[in-house]
Amino acid sequence: MRAISPRWQAAVEALFLCNGRQADALRIAGYVGTPQSIDVMASRLFGDERVRAAIGEECRKRIDITEPELITTVRSIMRDPAARDADRLKAASLIWDRARPIETKLKVDVQHHVTDAERDIQHYRALKKIGAPQEAFISRFGPHGVARVEAMILTEEARRKEIENGTTIEGEYSEIIPTFEEPTEPVPEMFDEEFLEELL
């Protein structure tokens, strides 16, 4: 609340005295003008983020102060045998929810499945990183498996470089322009006139 000017602070405090009527709050805080100008000032002042933050701060402070009274009222309703059952249940629910708020627990289990080829490449790179002797590679992948894993690594690196560099294929081309020529020989007809006459 101290982040705003004293006059704005007075307007925020006055807002609680006049049940939230903004124009009346400005008048109580000492602002003067025509009703239209007061309405415009109220709209601008109470629309300002700093003033809205101050209103929120004041609301929280006032709620904190009234909590003992709220609890006393709710407890009296809950314990009053003459009160309606629905009101007593609602009062009990308010106290219970406040004392033991509902918690929602969410468990997310993410699993990443690695293929055998990916695992072999990871193991090969780990052995290379620690400087393992050739016998460790043969022991892990077998005598013919080392070459297979090295080939997979080379293929993977080539694919990655192709993606990163945007490799294009160079080639030569020539444009072919279609032309239409009249046939030099007569086109044979499917049905001659004699056949058509017989058909009809």
For the stretch 138-196, pLDDT in tens is 888 888 888 899 999 898 888 877 766 665 566 676 777 766 666 566 555 555 566 55
29 and 55 inside one domain: yes
Can you tell me the distance from the alpha carbon of 67 to that of 103, in angstroms, rounded to the nearest whole number?
23
The answer to whether position 132 is within a domain reads: yes
Q: What is the pLDDT of residue 12?
A: 93
The domain tally of the chain equals: 2
With a cut of 70, say whether residue 17 has pLDDT above it. yes
Q: Which long-range contacts (CB under 8 A, 24 or more apart) does 148-154 make?
A: 149/120, 149/121, 149/124, 150/124, 152/117, 152/120, 152/121, 153/121, 153/124, 153/125
Mean pLDDT of the 7-29 span: 92
The answer to whether position 171 is within a domain reads: no
With a cut of 80, say whether residue 2 has pLDDT above it. no
79 and 13 inside one domain: yes
Residue 26 pLDDT level (bands cut at 50, 70, 90):
very high
The predicted model scores a pTM of 0.42
